[in-house]
């Protein structure tokens, strides 16, 4: 039997991926042990590194997602940048070791030590949805690590209701299992019953792959109990980095008003609407999204 071309820590269903961008990105996922002061053991951290020249660029995914979120964006950005995409603590294919703290402070600590160990130079930091809030939090805490900031339909002014914060077992488990089943059942409907275009099936398959990782339920419960990025609004005005705000003009998850609030709050910022696009321009409109990021990376005041 021939060895799998994918890393052994990935779920076996990674072999079901069909699109070139998905397969290429999955092939590129590696893990590195990152030592952090919050854990007696290093955290096996999943990430992708592509591109051999140009300034450093770091991609941060959204809530309950993974580096596969950037499968279409990566090959477009690596023409001009050395690009990293990392699975944040508690998410994606990064190991969810038992006993690790959850929530934004722990994510920030882990991200800093990843940056210090793997990149160790100022980056163009790109955050999508929850990853945008993570990027803001990181830039405020470690300004030396961030040259510029790109926020894609970013969390910051609107945060999911902290329902799980008030749920006790087994209701908390049932709540996150309901969330998981939404993706699992959608994938089943798309593959078994048919009627979906292949790209839609692949999108759900990529979004659901990390759900098979160990301790997924525990990590989701812990993050939601932390309150997530619900306290971000008061800090946004402190940002002093050049910031590009990209926003889908048909976002049905976050309000268009949030985009305008970011533009008004961040002094050195520009807002660009991505036309005919929902909450995930990096997936729905990767070419135009990449064009704006690359142009912003080249721009100097």
SS3 label, residue 285: coil
**Looking at the predicted structure, is the pLDDT value of residue 286 above 60?**
yes
SS3 label, residue 33: strand
Mean pLDDT of 231-260: 95
Question: Counting beta carbons within 10 angstroms of the beta carbon of residue 226, is it exposed (0 to 12), middle (13 to 18) or buried (19 or more)?
Answer: buried
So what's the pLDDT on residue 273?
A: 98
Least confident interval from 163-172, 176-185, 267-276: 163-172
SS3 label, residue 243: strand
- In sequence order, the β-bridge partners of residue 244 are 150, 270
* Residue 1's pLDDT band (cuts 50, 70, 90): very low
Give the span between the Cα atoms of 111 and 108, in whole angstroms: 5
* Residue 195's pLDDT band (cuts 50, 70, 90): low
**Looking at the predicted structure, is the pLDDT value of residue 194 above 90?**
no
132-180 pLDDT, tens digit per residue, is 999 999 999 999 999 999 999 999 998 655 555 666 778 787 888 888 8
Say if residue 103 is preceded by a cis peptide, omega within 30 of 0: no
Mean pLDDT of 113-130: 98
So what's the pLDDT on residue 193?
A: 64
Q: Which runs of E-coded beta strand occur in 226-292?
A: 243-248, 269-274
Mean pLDDT of 124-138: 98
* Residue 58's pLDDT band (cuts 50, 70, 90): very high
**Looking at the predicted structure, is the pLDDT value of residue 71 above 70?**
yes
Report which of 139, 155, 151 is spatially closest to residue 296, judged by C-alpha positions. Answer: 151
Average pLDDT, the chain: 92
So what's the pLDDT on residue 30?
A: 98
Q: Is 125 left (phi over 0), alpha (psi -120 to 50) or beta?
A: beta
Give the span between the Cα atoms of 143 and 239, in whole angstroms: 9
So what's the pLDDT on residue 189?
A: 75
Domains and CATH numbers, the chain: 12-159+228-298 (3.40.50.1820)
């Amino acid at each position: 039997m021939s060895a799998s071309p994918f890393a052994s820590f990935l779920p076996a269903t990674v072999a079901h991926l069909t699109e070139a961008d998905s397969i290429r990105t999955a092939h590129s996922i590696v893990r590195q042990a990152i030592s952090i002061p919050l854990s007696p053991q290093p955290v096996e951290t999943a990430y992708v590194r592509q591109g051999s020249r140009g300034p450093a660029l770091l991609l941060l995914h959204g809530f309950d997602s993974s580096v596969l979120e950037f499968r279409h964006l990566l090959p477009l950005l690596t023409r001009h940048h050395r690009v990293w995409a990392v699975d944040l603590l508690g998410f994606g294919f990064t190991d969810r070791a038992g006993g690790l703290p959850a929530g934004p402070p722990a994510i920030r600590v882990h991200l800093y030590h990843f940056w210090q160990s793997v990149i160790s130079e100022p980056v163009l930091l790109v955050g999508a949805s929850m990853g945008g809030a993570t990027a803001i939090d990181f830039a405020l805490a470690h300004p030396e690590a961030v040259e510029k900031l790109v926020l894609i339909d970013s969390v910051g002014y609107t945060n999911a209701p902290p329902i799980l914060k008030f749920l006790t077992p087994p209701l908390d488990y049932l709540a996150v299992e309901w969330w998981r089943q939404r993706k699992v059942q959608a994938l089943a409907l798309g593959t078994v019953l048919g009627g979906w275009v292949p790209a839609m099936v692949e999108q759900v398959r990529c979004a659901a792959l990390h759900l098979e990782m160990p301790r997924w339920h525990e990590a989701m419960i812990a993050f939601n109990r932390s309150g997530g990025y619900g306290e971000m609004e008061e800090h946004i005005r402190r940002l002093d980095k050049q910031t590009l705000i990209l926003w889908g003009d048909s976002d049905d998850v976050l309000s268009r008003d949030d985009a305008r609030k970011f533009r008004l709050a961040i002094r050195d910022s520009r807002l660009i609407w991505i036309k005919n696009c929902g909450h995930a321009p990096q997936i729905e409109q990767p070419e135009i999204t990449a064009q704006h990021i690359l142009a912003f990376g080249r721009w100097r005041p």
